[in-house]
Amino acid sequence: MQTIWSTACVGIGPKTEELAQMGMVVTFGTNAPDEIAEFCVSITVQPVSEPIVPGNYLQIGDQAFPVTAVGDVAQENLGNLGHVTFNFDGATEPSMPGTIHVEGAVPAIEVGTELSLIAA
């Protein structure tokens, strides 16, 4: 298993819990506009070294979540802006171009929590 993207949470917007209750985690680099940042897990932008595809795993802390679908611009946005929506619904078709769908329940994320994508 190879890590294809890795970063850490550097901030938590005050409205991230609202999205978590809907099964979503939105990430954005530290340069997110204020009106978006309040809903985001703020991360350090890091490049993605390999294609993100179903069958990869999203690792948050010590929990792994199978990737089930990847939107057309999710990898580009994640690598360039740190921006993606992780949707914890297990969908096999992407709902939006910037969404990565995974199986499981939204875990707790705190400042310092590591986030990675792992190639299977």
What are the pLDDT digits (tens) for 36-88?
999 999 999 999 999 999 999 999 999 999 999 999 999 999 999 999 999 99
Report the candidate in 48, 15, 70 with the shortest Cα–Cα distance to residue 117.
48
pTM: 0.96
Q: β-strands 2-12, 63-70: how paired?
A: unpaired
Q: Is the pLDDT of residue 120 over 90?
A: no
Question: Which run of H or E residues covers position 17?
Answer: helix 16-21
Six-digit token string for 8: 């850490």
pLDDT tens digits, residue range 77-117? 999 999 999 999 999 999 999 999 999 999 999 999 999 99
Q: For residue 111, how many other CB atoms are within 10 A of its CB?
A: 11
Report the candidate in 110, 62, 114, 66 with the shortest Cα–Cα distance to residue 86.
66
2-119 folds as M1 Pyruvate Kinase; Domain 3 (2.40.33)
Give just the sign of the alpha carbon dihedral 25, 26, 31, 32: negative
Six-digit token string for 14: 């005050």
